[in-house]
Structure 1
Amino acid sequence: MSVTDLPILGLLRTRMQWHQTRQKLLSENVANADLPGFKPRDLANPELGRAKSRGAGFGTVALAQPEGASGAGLAVTSPAHITIAQAGEGPGADARRIKGFEVRPSGNGVNLEEEMMKSGDNQADYQLATSLYQKSLETLKIAIGKR
């Protein structure tokens, strides 16, 4: 077993890869802010994906589309499952609303302010993960006497 195969380092590497992928999606959202009909995308949080899939690895992520976006809905595998109202259904529902902001008449649902906030948060979380990774490696070097 090599030093880089330690579980904590693997988790941090996976987390950094997740943040890189999320940053790519967020930048695509910003780049397509003027494209008619474009729906913003984001990655599901790995912790949520792991809890839902029970036993899946830390890096298991799925593309999560905002509420009201087109795509496959939740799978109903049992008649006892509670169904979720689709966009435009239920009291006070507005089919033009996607996760708290208005969709433009062209059908574009990108809110630049929200995307930039997500991007900044993502960058800060990535920097935290890289800092933890670096400190873990430094601690290992001290422990084996290479420093």
Structure 2
Amino acid sequence: MFEKIEMMRMARAMGSHASQRQITVARNIANADTPGFKAQDLQPFADSYRAASEPLRATDARHLQVADWTASSRPATTETGVSPNGNSVSLEEEMLKAAEVKRSYDLSLGIYRSALDLVRTSIGRRG
């Protein structure tokens, strides 16, 4: 039932994107001293979510179907300064990305909680 509500679907997708980005950031930090390792990052959530929901198909003119978003997009290699051993990981940038991931995750939880409050209110229960 709740998976049909677009706001809840978006909050779930945003949390999944934050999870995948955290994995990528952690992998970058773990390989900070690996010679030749190239830092990676996911594309922004807004771009990937918009691209996943663009092709709308309907069996009837009155019906709209929205494609499910997945975080299976490949991490893109970032172009940053490269150290003499060929490694492009900057720990300062990765720590900033980790803070962005936490903000994104907290935002997705806030949206999800708000959606649940709206559902509870609509059925007559107060949270």
Q: Is the structural similarity TM-score above 0.5?
A: yes
Whichever residue aligns with residue 109 of structure 1, its letter is: S
* Distance in 1 between residues matched to 2:70 and 2:34, nearest whole Å: 31
Judge conservation of contact 1:16–1:126 (CA < 8 Å) in 2: yes
Aligned to 2:107: 128
> 5+ residue gaps in structure 1?
67-97
Aligned to 2:24: 25
* Distance in 2 between residues matched to 1:19 and 1:65, nearest whole Å: 18
Aligned to 1:117: 96
Residues 1:104 and 2:83 aligned together: yes
Structure of greater Rg: 1
Judge conservation of contact 1:46–1:59 (CA < 8 Å) in 2: no
* Distance in 2 between residues matched to 1:57 and 1:23, nearest whole Å: 21
Deviation at 1:64, TM superposition (A): 1.3
Q: Tell me which of the two structures has the higher relative contact order, counting C-alpha pairs closer than 8 angstroms and 6 or more residues apart.
A: 2
* Distance in 2 between residues matched to 1:13 and 1:39, nearest whole Å: 29
Aligned residues, how many? 113
Write out per-residue CA displacement over residues 30-58 of structure 1, whole angstroms, 9 at most, x where no aligned residue.
Answer: 01101111111111124324449952654
* Distance in 2 between residues matched to 1:53 and 1:63, nearest whole Å: 20
Residues 1:65 and 2:73 aligned together: no
Aligned to 1:8: 7
> 5+ residue gaps in structure 2?
56-66
TM-score (normalizing by structure 1): 0.68
Whichever residue aligns with residue 42 of structure 1, its letter is: D
Write out per-residue CA displacement over residues 93-119 of structure 1, whole angstroms, 9 at most, x where no aligned residue.
Answer: xxxxx33xx211111110000000011
* Distance in 2 between residues matched to 1:15 and 1:138, nearest whole Å: 19
* Distance in 1 between residues matched to 2:124 and 2:52, nearest whole Å: 42
Give the structure with the higher percent helix. Answer: 2
Moved over 3 A (4+): 49-54, 56-62
